[in-house]
Structure 1
Amino acid sequence: MAAHRETPIGDTQEPRAVPGAWLVALRLIRWAREHWLLPIMLLAAVVRCYDLTAASIWFDEGSSVLLSQFSLADIWVRAAHDVHPPLYFMLLHGWIGLFGDGMLSIRSMSAIPGIITVGLGVWLVDLLATRRAALLAGLLLALLPTAVRYSQEVRMYALLGMWLIGATIALVYWVRQPRRHRYLVAYALLMTAAFYTHYFTALCVISHWLYLAAVRVQPGYRLRHIQRPAWWLANLAIALAYLPWVPNLVDLLQHIPELKASNDIGWEDPVTLVSLPSMVWSLLIQDDGGTFPVWLFMTLPLALLALIGVALRRDRSVFRGSLLLLCYSVVPILLVFVVSFISPVFIERYLTAYALGLPMLVALAIDRLYTGFRVLALAILVLFVGVELIGVKNNATVDSNDQFGVLVDYVNRHFTEGDRIVTSDMMWYLSYVYYNRTDAQIRLYTPNAADGHSTRPNAYGFGTLVSNDVYLDRLTDLPNGSGRVWLIGTLDEPNDFAALPEGWQRRSDMHAAGAFARLYQTPPDTGKPGG
């Protein structure tokens, strides 16, 4: 770095520019011009951290915590039998080691990536369009209800969004400067992390290749990036990095029947033509719109489609940023929708990472309308923000007194040494284990079916998290203890524990969040000896 020359005191000659000082001054000027980013990030943090611990841990979250408690080697093996790759659970394992397994801690591991993703979205749109469009995208991303929701769950969806938006930024930098191979290195690392986080990363690969193919054949200035050896090598590197997991994926695919039998997959409702507009409503207001009049039900999806058309139509950029966002968000949603007619997987949380592109497209449309149709652009912005605020409110509407954690806390407070606790199914078991503060082993009731076959989970899906000594085929197999048994089941399913042993007498009954906790006193001779 060249040294600067000082101006002597009293010298009337104007001092020459000082490079270091100018850099500082330029940073301050830029900061003064871009101070709007802080309120956007603060807004993103507030809506994601508000009532972060209000809703109880549900069974998917409970499975995340349970899997993360194993060693890293065991997580690799057990995740191989689960429906998700292992990276998120490994990171959660380390996070809990540092910050504990309290609700605030474990949910913060999703909230923080969710907040970071808003900043990444601003960065991406700033690369693709104007600073105003980036500001609008930040506002709409901060309030996107589906992103807020899954930034508050102990699952991998917020983390996946961070990886994929980060990878898309790296792709844009490389498209603009194809000789800078470091951008492809960053791209490969981020996409590899995404593949080890969720299998739906494959949709992002499709969207990026589709974008590069589209700009290769576009009229006018054609971008030939898809033909560059560096791009192919980057994708080959991703594939090679994923090879260690491929045998596990192949094994998992071969055991789809076991996963369906244990209800870990195949539980999704079949899709219909109205499922697509319903998904748009779910993403934006956390309600599928099924009770709305037909005209209203179709208005929002059609309006969103029109705005996407505006963003594409008015895009005069060389790199076609609107097309990239279309490929990133709309194409994966449509692909999953079509595939779901064969095998239903059209689930909101699976698509949340791709829904992040929708508010960015809306921001581009508003920005491009603002020049000639200012009032219309502002009206669209106000309406879209209003729709999102409805979704944020719906997401934040939680009755803290009607939560499963309240029910388990009741049992914890009234538990006496020697009490037995039995849950009726895996759904309640995975949540209950997280909240249990007693020394009792929580048992999972697995009575034989009417035809005599066992209802115990198999070694795939959630069954990989549970040891055999947890299962209880008959209530009479409970060992003797205090003579008291807590049964935890579904409130509207009175036959969760059909045919109770003779002589059991109900002593108390508590219910919350659709579940019940019933305390029974057993006769003195009930149960097997031993603790």
Structure 2
Amino acid sequence: MGVPSKDEMAKALLGPPLAHSRPLVLLLREPWLIPILILAVGARLYQLTAASIWGDEGSSLLLAQYAPSGIWFHAARDVHPPLYFVLLHYWTALFGDSILSIRLMSAVPGVLTVFLGTWLVYLTSTRRAALLACLLLALLPTAVRYSQEIRMYSLMCVWLMGATLALVHWVRAPRRARYLAIYVVLMAAGFYTHYFTALCVLAHWLYLLVLRLQAEHPCHCITRPGWWLANVAIVVLYLPWLPGLLDLVRHWEALKVGGDVDWEPAITAGSLPSMLWQLLAQDDGENMPWWLFVSVPLLVLAVCLSTAWSDRSRYRFDLMMVIYSVLPLSVVFAISLVSPIFIERYLTAYALGLAILFALTIDRLARRSRVLAAGLLGVVLVVFGLGLKNNYTVDPNDQFSAMVDYVNQHAVAGDRVVLGDMFWYLTYGYYDRVGVQMLLFTPPSADGTSTRPNEYGFGTLIDQQAGVYLDSLELLPEGNGRAWLVMSREAPDEFPSIPGAWREVARHAGGDTQAVLYDTCHPVCRSR
């Protein structure tokens, strides 16, 4: 017997294009699946606890401390639905609230999403495309990042990728109602996790409309009663949350006052390319040469157009992924022309489609030119590698937690901590080990109006009667004569004026913040 050729070895590993009837068990037998999933696990566990918890994560932890009924009430006044916080509540009850534990609740769904995306491509394309999709989903920088954050974005990826997978099964076998039942449950879970799930619904409807309108072999799934009943079922399951959502809409101005919405700057012509750079490389690209700044967005555009043009299959599954990726980006960009909501983490679930589109394109190129396919794969891996490097670049000694640890070590009974920003207030309590009294500095604005948070947005997490707010440093109770002011490190304008009798004793920085210890006693006080 002769030595097998490269073609024969590739065929032995990757096999022929998949028949649509291949069951899940064959995917589980693939020799490359477990190693790449282990890579996905490693990518999400590496540096998992290195970065300090930040404001959004702190709000997740505060909200998860309530009982489910309290979570339902307060989430209705926040900008996100309740499901993630309810699950986090039970997760911490079972596994504790260490930073490793609570971030694992995002890492686990992150790995599950890689598997679901791989399964989706395995059903609709070739084994090689599935292998490539698995690899790129495992390393997609935005997916890795939000698999390491105590927020709902990784969980949202599971629901939407799972629902898309269920839709594919149903399109191939529309008589099997169980796929629609699974779709209903997953989409309802998505809506209870993040409002941007609506974009996935739009993508799925547009995809089915395209199938119905195609000249050859039109697919009538969009007109089937089962599809309409499934969407009605999703709405019915969502009805319990509707009163809270409508109340939130009515109090939209209250969210603006608290800075919980409309904080994103207005978009520009460069916002879309910048978003693609953020999703793929965790870099906004603003400091790049113009030719480099437009290169990756143009590559993404070419991949989407070529995939849509070349897909002549009956069910247009490749085109479905183009719609899944492009439609949400386009809709959110258009809405942001009026009200800025063009935020990377909100679109992470749809960026998964970009990784899959790269895999499909590389697989398609490999049938014509292995050199071109290898070149494109190399470019994508370099961009992803840059993104992972940016994700992992964390100095554990220059973190907000290090600053709080310094206060923990040097605080004495009766010390107060005055925080100049709501985000720091949400985070500080997690790291506090000495039980200092925490106050939030809320000086009146120039026209005399209060800057205290209202009962919507992050303000819902603060008891309005708990004496947390401090409108002036002169009103700080005398206490033991010591106060820590937490302020910005570079431009500490949260406290524009410090009482003249206060004397700085010490300071310690952590990340972009610093804690400054003051002796607040007047001379008479110190002489006692």
Instruction: Classify the TM-score, shorter chain.
Output: over 0.9
Of 76, 82, 105, 1:109 maps to 105
Structure 1 residue 311 displacement after superposition: 2.2
For the 8 Å contact 1:405–1:435, the answer to whether it is kept is yes
What is residue 456 of structure 2 aligned with on the other side? Answer: 460
CA distance in 1 between counterparts of 2:215 and 2:35 reads 40
Of 477, 480, 484, 1:479 maps to 477
2:450 partner SS: coil
Of 159, 163, 169, 1:163 maps to 159
How has the CA–CA distance of structure 1 residues 388 and 526 changed in structure 2, closer, same or farther, with 3 Å as cutoff? farther
CA distance in 2 between counterparts of 1:243 and 1:434 reads 34
What root-mean-square deviation, in Å, do the aligned CA atoms of Structure 1 and Structure 2 show?
A: 1.7
Structure 1 residue 141 displacement after superposition: 0.6
CA distance in 2 between counterparts of 1:526 and 1:398 reads 46
What amino acid does structure 1 have at the position aligned with 2:458?
F
What is residue 18 of structure 1 aligned with on the other side? Answer: none
CA distance in 2 between counterparts of 1:326 and 1:217 reads 17
CA distance in 2 between counterparts of 1:491 and 1:294 reads 32
Structure 1 residue 526 displacement after superposition: 9.2
What is residue 23 of structure 1 aligned with on the other side? Answer: none
Structure 1 residue 171 displacement after superposition: 0.5
CA distance in 2 between counterparts of 1:339 and 1:462 reads 24
What is residue 62 of structure 1 aligned with on the other side? Answer: 58
Structure 1 residue 127 displacement after superposition: 1.1
1:29-428 equivalences under 5 Å are 34-428=30-424
Structure 1 residue 516 displacement after superposition: 1.2
For the 8 Å contact 2:140–2:384, the answer to whether it is kept is yes
Of 476, 493, 496, 2:494 maps to 496
For the 8 Å contact 1:480–1:526, the answer to whether it is kept is no
CA distance in 2 between counterparts of 1:296 and 1:493 reads 32
CA distance in 2 between counterparts of 1:525 and 1:226 reads 79
What amino acid does structure 1 have at the position aligned with 2:318?
S
1:272 partner SS: coil
Structure 1 residue 274 displacement after superposition: 1.3
How has the CA–CA distance of structure 1 residues 33 and 108 changed in structure 2, closer, same or farther, with 3 Å as cutoff? closer
Structure 1 residue 477 displacement after superposition: 3.1
CA distance in 2 between counterparts of 1:219 and 1:391 reads 42
Structure 1 residue 77 displacement after superposition: 0.5
CA distance in 1 between counterparts of 2:303 and 2:398 reads 40
CA distance in 2 between counterparts of 1:186 and 1:93 reads 25
For the 8 Å contact 2:266–2:340, the answer to whether it is kept is yes
Deviation digits for residues 435-463 of structure 1 (CA, Å, limit 9, x no counterpart): 11122221111122222221101111000
CA distance in 2 between counterparts of 1:31 and 1:66 reads 40
What amino acid does structure 1 have at the position aligned with 2:41?
A
2:418 partner SS: strand
Larger deviation, residues 205-214 vs 492-501: 492-501
Structure 1 residue 525 displacement after superposition: 8.5
CA distance in 1 between counterparts of 2:208 and 2:524 reads 70
Deviation digits for residues 483-516 of structure 1 (CA, Å, limit 9, x no counterpart): 2111111123333223323421111011121111
Of 501, 519, 528, 1:521 maps to 519
For the 8 Å contact 2:200–2:324, the answer to whether it is kept is yes
What is residue 5 of structure 1 aligned with on the other side? Answer: none
What is the TM-score normalised by the length of structure 1? Answer: 0.92
What amino acid does structure 1 have at the position aligned with 2:39?
L
Structure 1 residue 467 displacement after superposition: 1.3
What amino acid does structure 1 have at the position aligned with 2:211?
V
CA distance in 2 between counterparts of 1:322 and 1:410 reads 54
For the 8 Å contact 2:167–2:180, the answer to whether it is kept is yes
Deviation digits for residues 32-91 of structure 1 (CA, Å, limit 9, x no counterpart): 961200111011111111000101101010010011111111110000110000100111
Structure 1's unaligned 5+ residue stretches are 1-25
How has the CA–CA distance of structure 1 residues 82 and 525 changed in structure 2, closer, same or farther, with 3 Å as cutoff? farther
Structure 1 moving runs of 4+ over 4 Å: 29-33, 524-527
Structure 1 residue 524 displacement after superposition: 5.9
Structure 1 residue 353 displacement after superposition: 0.5
CA distance in 1 between counterparts of 2:353 and 2:425 reads 36
For the 8 Å contact 2:129–2:359, the answer to whether it is kept is yes
How has the CA–CA distance of structure 1 residues 526 and 378 changed in structure 2, closer, same or farther, with 3 Å as cutoff? farther
For the 8 Å contact 1:266–1:344, the answer to whether it is kept is yes
Larger deviation, residues 518-527 vs 337-346: 518-527
1:212 partner SS: helix
Structure 1 residue 288 displacement after superposition: 1.2
How has the CA–CA distance of structure 1 residues 484 and 303 changed in structure 2, closer, same or farther, with 3 Å as cutoff? same
For the 8 Å contact 2:27–2:122, the answer to whether it is kept is no
Max Rg structure: 1
What amino acid does structure 1 have at the position aligned with 2:36?
I
Deviation digits for residues 165-190 of structure 1 (CA, Å, limit 9, x no counterpart): 00000000011111110000000000
For the 8 Å contact 2:478–2:521, the answer to whether it is kept is no
What amino acid does structure 1 have at the position aligned with 2:509?
H
What amino acid does structure 2 have at the position aligned with 1:383?
V
Larger deviation, residues 87-96 vs 311-320: 311-320
For the 8 Å contact 1:311–1:368, the answer to whether it is kept is no
CA distance in 1 between counterparts of 2:220 and 2:339 reads 36
For the 8 Å contact 2:276–2:297, the answer to whether it is kept is yes
For the 8 Å contact 1:476–1:526, the answer to whether it is kept is no
How has the CA–CA distance of structure 1 residues 260 and 140 changed in structure 2, closer, same or farther, with 3 Å as cutoff? same
Structure 1 residue 296 displacement after superposition: 1.5
Structure 1 residue 272 displacement after superposition: 1.3
CA distance in 2 between counterparts of 1:135 and 1:85 reads 35
What amino acid does structure 2 have at the position aligned with 1:516?
Q
What amino acid does structure 1 have at the position aligned with 2:124?
L
* Aligned residue pair count: 501
What amino acid does structure 2 have at the position aligned with 1:459?
E
1:356 partner SS: helix
What is residue 7 of structure 1 aligned with on the other side? Answer: none
Structure 1 residue 523 displacement after superposition: 1.5
What percentage of aligned pairs have identical amino acids?
Answer: 56
Deviation digits for residues 251-278 of structure 1 (CA, Å, limit 9, x no counterpart): 1111111111111111101111211111
CA distance in 1 between counterparts of 2:27 and 2:173 reads 26
2:219 partner SS: coil
What amino acid does structure 1 have at the position aligned with 2:519?
Q
Deviation digits for residues 190-229 of structure 1 (CA, Å, limit 9, x no counterpart): 0000000000000000000000000100120110000000
How has the CA–CA distance of structure 1 residues 465 and 526 changed in structure 2, closer, same or farther, with 3 Å as cutoff? farther
Larger deviation, residues 440-449 vs 328-337: 440-449
CA distance in 2 between counterparts of 1:32 and 1:242 reads 34
What is the TM-score normalised by the length of structure 2? Answer: 0.92
